[in-house]
Amino acid sequence: MGRSGTIYVTGLDADFLGGYIWTIDPAVSPDAELFAIAPSPTDLLGIALVEGGLVLTANAADFGEVYYFPVEDGPRIVGEGDLFARLAVERVDGLLGESFEVPLLLDMAGSTREATDFSVSFSWTPGLLEFIGITEGDFGGSFTADVDQAAAGMIEASASRTTGLSGGVPTLFTVTLNVDASVGPGDRVDITVTFDELRGPFAQDLRSVLTVEPGSLCVSPWRWGDVDRNGAVGSGDATQILRHLVDLPLADGADIELGDVNRDGVVNGVDAVQILRYLVELPIPAESRVAGYGIGACP
Ligand SMILES: [Ca+2]
Ligand SMILES: [Ca+2]
């Protein structure tokens, strides 16, 4: 039944009154291996191969019972229809020393699959991140978080819906973190996301069609505003911005993107003014990033 060459067969055990499911892969061994124990074949209403597993339904004493056996190497449609989970590190625009938020997304766009339950472990190397909090996303259902192990570098979150959710890119949850004092400019922190569970209706295990992208955050080696990258924010950096505005060549090694100190997506005179005000200790907007080390997606 499987595309891999594995064949699944059922047999009846008269004493147990259950069916044995055996796997045989002639390419590996001529012997069958016991895969799972299922209801008696005489009680079976149906057998179906649902992606990622074998589904049996039974009547009689087990009326209404649905059995689901995940099949690691079972049929799987790759590409369109798959689910993707990833940390939205590109949304992180943090500053060294301040807390920031990292959302975990489940990309269901382009898939017809429905999700009802997830259970996720979110972990990092202990000591590199400080856990601040976790908030529910828009997956819906009952949401719970276990943060008892946060000091050891791991939190767990899960949710359960009564109806399947499909399509779109729901946020499963958002974690608020701060980097540890030991983390400095140029450092990188990796975050690991493991789905202990991702299920659809009839307890279908969706992990066989799920791809999880690891996420990493990097602390910039340069301060915001240090356009010429000489290690300090000075009037020369404002000059670089002004040169950029009139299309004059920049200094060797300059990175004009470091000039967007107010983080509005453009580098212009507003940024140059904030740099100059910072240099003479005039008030600047609280949200200005001048002289701070940015935290965000790794380059
Ligand atoms: Ca500079
Ligand atoms: Ca700007």
CATH code of the domain in which 114 resides: 2.60.40.680
Non-local (6+) Cβ contacts of 208 within 8 A are 51, 52, 53, 70, 71, 72, 74, 76
54 & 130 share domain: no
What percent of the chain shows pLDDT beyond 90?
68
273: CA distance to ligand 2 center in Å?
10
Q: Are residues 125 and 188 located together in one domain of the fold?
A: yes
pLDDT grade, residue 50 (50/70/90)? low
What's the domain count of the chain?
3
pLDDT at 295 over 50: yes
Interatomic CA distance for residues 112 and 124, integer angstroms: 32
Distance from the CA of 227 to the center of ligand 1, in angstroms?
A: 6
Ligand nearest to the CA of 245: 2
Q: How far is CA 215 from CA 14, 48, 90, 92, 287, in A?
A: 52, 36, 10, 11, 26
Answer whether residue 96 is part of any domain. yes
Out of 182, 216, 250, pick the residue that ends a domain: 216
Whether residues 209 and 95 fall in one domain: yes
Residues 105 and 37 reside in one and the same domain: no
Q: What's the confidence (pLDDT) of residue 268?
A: 96
Judge if 207 and 230 occupy the same domain.
no
Distance, CA 257 to ligand 2 centroid (Å)? 9
Are 195 and 92 in the same domain? Answer: yes
* Mean pLDDT along residues 227-233: 97
**In the structure, what pLDDT confidence band is assigned to residue 11 with cuts at 50, 70 and 90?**
low
State in Å: Cα 21 to ligand 2 middle.
64
How confident is the model at residue 74, as a pLDDT?
44
Ligand 2 centre and the CA of 96: distance in Å? 19
Let me know: does 144 contact 157? Beta carbons within 8 Å: yes
| pLDDT for 275 | 97
Residue 89: its pLDDT value, please?
96
In 43-76, which positions are buried (b, 16+ CB within 10 angstroms) versus exposed (e)? bbeebeebbbbbbbbbeeebeeebbbbebeebeb
pLDDT, tens digit (0-9, with 9 covering 90-100), for 180-197:
999 999 999 999 999 999
Same domain, 185 and 269: no
Structure-token pair, residue 80: 């369109």
In a domain, 186, yes or no: yes
CA distances from 246 to 243, 254, 260, 267, 287 (A): 5, 16, 16, 12, 27
- Quote the pTM value: 0.72
Q: Residues 167, 63: one domain?
A: no
Residue 132 Cα to ligand 1 midpoint, Å, equals 33
Instruction: Report which of 48, 80, 45, 75 is spatially closest to residue 61, judged by C-alpha positions.
Output: 45
Centre of ligand 1 to C-alpha 138, Å, is 42
Distance (Å) from CA 268 to ligand 2 centroid: 6
- Provide the pLDDT for residue 111: 87
Both 210 and 87 in a single domain? yes
Which ligand places an atom closest to the C-alpha of 288? 2
Q: What is the pLDDT of residue 110?
A: 79
The verdict on 66 and 99 lying in the same domain is: no
Q: How many angstroms separate the alpha carbon of residue 259 from the centre of ligand 1?
A: 10
d(CA 215, CA 109): 20
Are the beta carbons of 280 and 292 closer than 8 angstroms? no
Has residue 296 got a pLDDT over 50?
yes
The answer as to whether 76 is a domain residue is no
Residue 295 CA to ligand 2 center (angstroms) comes to: 17
Distance 12 CA to ligand 1 centre (A): 77
Enclosing domain of residue 211: 83-216
Distance between Cα 240 and ligand 1 center (Å): 9
> Does 251 reside within a domain?
yes
CA of 221 to the centre of ligand 1 (A): 13
Q: Evaluate if residue 239 carries a pLDDT over 50.
A: yes
Last residue of a domain, one of 197, 216, 235: 216
| pLDDT on residue 77 | 43
- Nearest ligand to the CA of 225 is 1
pLDDT of residue 48: 72
Q: Are residues 208 and 228 in the same domain?
A: no
* Average pLDDT score over residue span 148-155: 96
Q: Is the predicted pLDDT of residue 40 greater than 70, yes or no?
A: no
Last residue of a domain, one of 171, 190, 216: 216
The CA 263 to ligand 2 mean position distance, Å, reads 5
262: CATH = 1.10.1330.10
Q: How is residue 278 annotated by DSSP?
A: H
Tell me the CA–centroid distance for residue 224 and ligand 2, in Å.
Answer: 11
What average pLDDT score do residues 146-151 get?
97
Q: Is residue 78 part of a domain?
A: no
Task: Encode pLDDT of 244-288 as tens digits.
Answer: 999 999 999 999 999 999 999 999 999 999 999 999 999 999 999
Residues 90 and 203 in one domain: yes
pLDDT the model gives residue 75 = 42
Query: Which ligand does the CA of 259 lie closest to?
Result: 2
Q: Is the pLDDT of residue 76 over 60?
A: no
Q: What mean pLDDT is reported for the chain? A: 86
The DSSP letter of residue 265 is S
Task: Confirm whether 75 is domain-assigned.
Answer: no
- Sign of dihedral through CA atoms 19, 48, 28, 5? positive
Q: How many angstroms separate the alpha carbon of residue 110 from the centre of ligand 2?
A: 35
- Residues 80-125: tens digit of each pLDDT: 468 999 999 999 999 999 999 999 999 999 788 999 999 999 999 9
